[in-house]
């Protein structure tokens, strides 16, 4: 848990990677394809089946560490976390997805420096038992973006307050993983273990960096397999 907490501090500070223990991944948002046309139910189900088979094959190959649907209504439909930090390599894999090829979904990719160990326990369980029964868990994603008072180098007082706050999140079991985007998007993701969406909003809004305007946030409900997130 301590690595998760320390990385959250790096996320907030916008600092460079302080240690080789932090992992570089690629984060993917799956979104509804613009102007997506309605298909007959049978055809839509066929593409969905191919989509899931594609994700399973990437997982079996060790390329895809996490995948799951976004339950919050809107254009976002899912999240993918890839082992590689090469966006171009990831793009080739993601855009070969039958749901992308058939213009059902579009993928938005970002390099993501985050908590190490994502997907490791899940992969080990599947290797140990070919009949492993996947259990899906609910998380809340706090998607952090530049706020109205964004600073490349935040005030040291705000940073220290944020550090104390994030440490408390981990100590109370509310933080499963965290990471920051390392491209022009800025911001990052906190994967929360809240009891509800309302609690997740309260947790995110109480962050001193959110209060100061360094970050703004959106809360999304997400499901992924048990054993994927290192903090749960």
pLDDT digits (tens, 9 = 90+) for 166-209: 778 878 899 998 888 999 888 889 999 999 999 999 999 999 99
In this prediction, residues 35-60 reach a mean pLDDT of: 96
Round to whole Å and give the CA distance between 194 and 205. Answer: 13
**Residues of the chain above pLDDT 90, percent:** 72
Q: pLDDT value at position 232?
A: 66
Q: pLDDT value at position 156?
A: 85
* Phi/psi-derived region of residue 133, left when phi > 0, alpha when psi is between -120 and 50, beta in every other case: beta
Could you give the 3-state DSSP secondary structure of residue 108?
Answer: strand
**102 has a pLDDT exceeding 90:** yes
Q: pLDDT value at position 187?
A: 86
- Does 76 or 166 have the greater pLDDT score? 76
Give 11-47 pLDDT, tens digit per residue: 443 333 444 468 999 999 999 999 999 999 999 999 9
**103 has a pLDDT exceeding 70:** yes
Round to whole Å and give the CA distance between 182 and 189. Answer: 12
Q: pLDDT value at position 154?
A: 80
Read off φ and ψ for residue 16, nearest 5 degrees.
Answer: -80, 165
Domains and CATH numbers, the chain: 2-225 (3.30.70.1060)
Counting other chains too, the contacts that 44-51 makes at CB distance below 8 Å and 24 or more residues apart are: 44/104, 47/98, 47/99, 47/102, 47/104, 48/99, 50/98, 50/99, 51/97, 51/98, 51/99, 51/104, 51/105
Q: Which of 22, 216, 208, 230 is nearest to 111 (CA)?
A: 22
**Which pair of structure tokens corresponds to residue 222?**
């997400």
Could you give the 3-state DSSP secondary structure of residue 180?
Answer: strand
**148 has a pLDDT exceeding 60:** yes
Instruction: Evaluate whether 191 touches 175 at the Cβ level (below 8 Å).
Output: yes
């Amino acid at each position: 848990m301590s690595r998760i907490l320390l990385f959250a501090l790096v996320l907030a500070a916008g600092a460079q990677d302080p240690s080789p223990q932090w992992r570089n991944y690629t984060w993917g948002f799956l979104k509804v394809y613009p102007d997506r046309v309605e298909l007959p139910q049978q055809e839509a189900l066929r593409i969905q089946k191919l989509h899931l088979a594609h994700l399973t094959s990437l997982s079996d190959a060790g390329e895809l560490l996490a995948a799951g649907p976004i339950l919050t209504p809107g254009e976002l439909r899912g999240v993918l976390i890839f082992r590689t930090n090469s966006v171009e390599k990831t793009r080739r894999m993601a855009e070969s997805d039958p749901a992308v090829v058939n213009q059902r979904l579009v993928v938005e990719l970002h390099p993501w420096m985050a908590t190490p160990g994502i997907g490791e326990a899940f992969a080990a369980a599947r290797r140990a038992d070919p009949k492993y029964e996947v259990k899906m868990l609910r998380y809340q994603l706090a998607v952090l973006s530049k706020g109205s008072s964004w600073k490349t180098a935040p005030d040291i007082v705000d940073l220290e307050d944020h550090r104390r706050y994030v440490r408390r999140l981990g100590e109370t079991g509310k933080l499963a993983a965290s990471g920051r985007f390392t491209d022009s998007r800025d911001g990052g993701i906190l994967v929360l273990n809240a009891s509800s969406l309302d609690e997740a909003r309260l947790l995110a809004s109480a962050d001193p960096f959110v209060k100061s305007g360094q970050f703004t946030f959106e809360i999304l409900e997400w499901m992924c397999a048990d054993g994927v997130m290192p903090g749960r």
